[in-house]
Structure 1
Amino acid sequence: MRRYYLERTLQAVITVFAVMTLAFFMIRLLPGGPADALRAQLTQSNPGMSQAEITRAVQSQLNLAPDAPTYVQYIDYLGSLLQGNLGESTSQSASVASVIAGAAPWTIFVMGSALLIAFVVGISMGATMAYREGSRFDGSSTVVSILMNSIPNYIYGILLLWLLGYVFKVFPTGGRFSAGVEPTLNVFAPAETLQFVGNALWHAAMPILSVALVTWGGWALGMRGNSIQVLGEDYLRVAQLRGLPSRRIALRYVGRNAVLPMYTSMLITLGFLLGGSVIIEQVFSYPGMGYYMIEGLNSRDYPLMMGVFLVITITVAVAVYLADLTYGLIDPRASATGGGADE
């Protein structure tokens, strides 16, 4: 078992290191070169700056010395990343770390809420479909689940934006919260906190719904397949012969054993949803990490763009790593087959 954990930890470290390396070389291979582009931008906007001052500004914002050898730039870049220094954003007039720190909670809020809603709806529908296998409800629900899961979330987003945002004006078409609302999360100010949370949910409703509409179908189909497999196990027949209540059998035996295999995919899906926020946040003008990544690309703000890319890809790697380490703890069957004894 220790060997299993060691191998997974080593794989995670290598993956994160590879992501950092990829980010470094992506910066260097971008069209025109970010250092040259930033140097030209600074020269045009600050004609009084000397070349030495421009070089220092480029080094500060890109996290590397543009005139140094490649291996020196690479070492400096990794050293800065390990210290949490992602450079300076040229478009936001702030450090990249502070921009991401301000945007990440909103992306997690939207994607986490969407995943939770989709997971609950999906496993409920999937379990019902399994219990009514072969019925008209099962067949129609399976078709609907496949169709809903096949349409990209930004298509739902555009339709919802047009219908609920512009036609019926039910929800706002952009922003995190209304201009007159003060951001408040304080247990000693429950009224203000509830007003802020409610307003934030109102603004995030359409992005959450767009992602949930796509995701629930996959959970439903997965839960249906797992439940049908569990329903055919011999221990369920034994439980029925012992006279156990059907509710207990459904919840403790069928539901629990069918949901466990979906735990890993839930964590991995959360990681990938953060990456999928790039388009959906642009559709709704919702300032999260994906929104700032596109903004960085449009404004040639390479430090911001690459900083968001780095955080998103590391998040996916960490999600997979946590799924690998914790799955054996919640499902002893995986521990028995996957890790073995201490080696």
Structure 2
Amino acid sequence: MRFVARRLALYVVIAWAAITINFLIPRMMPGDPVDLLVDRLKGQVDPAAITSLRQAFGLSDASLLNQYWDYLGNLFHGDLGRSISFYPTAVSDVIATTLPWTLGLIGVCTVISFVLGTSAGIIAAWKRGGWTDMLVPSTTFLHSIPYFWMALLLVFIFGVVLGWLPISGAYDTDLPPVLSGEFIGSVLYHALLPAITIVVSSIAGWLLGMRNMMITTLGEDYVTLAQAKGLSRMRVMTAYAARNAILPSFTGFALSLGFVVGGSMLTEVIFSYPGVGYTLYQAVQNEDFPLMQGLFLVISLSVLAANLLADLAYVLLDPRIRANASGAS
């Protein structure tokens, strides 16, 4: 329990540092959101309207410390300010609208690619020297292709030339966004091409990493001892070799889940998919600092949460860490 408490305390401090940096960076930059919004209007703006805008964006002439306490209070109540690009929509509402699309697409694809890649890596290492060795050069080739090139290639072949799949959007705009069979089918149909891009581009990395770790683990004494005891091949492969070889891959998987919230930006931009990555791209284009600030904060906290879950899962998966944690407590 002391190990868990120490890790929680550490991540609370890191989260506080991320929140503080997220507060300071926009205030260190020249100008503010109201100046940007007034410049876009390109006309005479009533000073009273400017004052109202500054209040709406949470800007004040108070001291930095008072602004910081107000920022923490607003953050505690879920108030991340108002977006310039989608004004007067609140940043939290914009994130709440885009986040499910990213979690649904990028999250599911990350899990699928991890499961398929690690499973194929285990089999390729266990049956090395056979036909599975042909997976290595092909997956290495796929791993070397930038995923945005893969996306453009698939768009050209299946969207433009063959016309089999849609090349933009998350669903048919003629359909009302309600939970119906037709709407869900349209969502899955539009997600198919970006999903293929993400899975094909990322599965190779999981396969190669797991295969290399599995080959190293198969040379350990405890695996040889398990084979000498006459245990079944499946039990040796899964309970002895794969269980220990998967630990580094699990760390990478936890980090990948953390970055899921950030989305695969270029993939979402290429397919105009309304996720967090595409929204962040729009915020950068429109110099929407409140939206960028909110998105960066959500992404940072998501990565921290994923790392914390990975640390806790390591204690359950690795008996050595569990023993050290028990001894320390």
Q: Give the alignment's TM-score, normalised by structure 1.
A: 0.86
Give runs of aligned pairs for residues 236-275 of structure 1, distance below 5 A: 236-275=223-262
Q: Which amino acid aligns with 2:323?
A: A
2:258–2:299: 8 Å Cα contact kept in structure 1?
yes
> What is the aligned partner in structure 2 of residue 129 from structure 1?
124
Give runs of aligned pairs for residues 313-332 of structure 1, distance below 5 A: 313-332=300-319
1:166 Cα deviation after fit: 1.4
State the alpha-carbon separation in 2 of the partners of residues 11 and 152 from structure 1.
35
State the alpha-carbon separation in 2 of the partners of residues 281 and 21 from structure 1.
29
2:21 matches 1:22:
yes
Q: Which runs of 5+ in 1 are unaligned?
A: 186-191
Q: Which runs of 5+ in 2 are unaligned?
A: none
What is the SS of the residue equivalent to 1:275? coil
1:179 Cα deviation after fit: 2.2
2:196 matches 1:209:
yes
State the alpha-carbon separation in 2 of the partners of residues 255 and 45 from structure 1.
66
- Amino-acid identity (%): 38
1:320 Cα deviation after fit: 0.8
Q: Which amino acid aligns with 1:316?
A: V
1:282 Cα deviation after fit: 0.9
2:5 matches 1:10:
no
State the alpha-carbon separation in 2 of the partners of residues 91 and 279 from structure 1.
20
Q: Which amino acid aligns with 1:146?
A: T
State the alpha-carbon separation in 2 of the partners of residues 147 and 22 from structure 1.
40
Q: Please say which of residues 100-109 and 155-164 is displaced more in the overlay.
A: 155-164
> What is the aligned partner in structure 1 of residue 52 from structure 2?
56
State the alpha-carbon separation in 2 of the partners of residues 290 and 78 from structure 1.
25
- Over residues 317-343 of structure 1, what are the superposed CA-to-partner deviations in whole Å (9 max), with x where a residue is unaligned? 111111112220233232124x24354
1:28–1:34: 8 Å Cα contact kept in structure 2?
no
Q: Which amino acid aligns with 1:131?
A: W
1:118 Cα deviation after fit: 1.0
- Over residues 49-81 of structure 1, what are the superposed CA-to-partner deviations in whole Å (9 max), with x where a residue is unaligned? 3x24422322322x332x233332222222211
How big is the alpha-carbon RMSD for the aligned residues of Structure 1 and Structure 2?
Answer: 2.4
2:254–2:306: 8 Å Cα contact kept in structure 1?
yes
1:27–1:34: 8 Å Cα contact kept in structure 2?
no
- Paired residues in the alignment total 328
1:289 Cα deviation after fit: 1.0
State the alpha-carbon separation in 2 of the partners of residues 327 and 182 from structure 1.
44
State the alpha-carbon separation in 2 of the partners of residues 276 and 99 from structure 1.
15
1:142 Cα deviation after fit: 2.5
2:102 matches 1:107:
yes
Q: Give the alignment's TM-score, normalised by structure 2.
A: 0.89
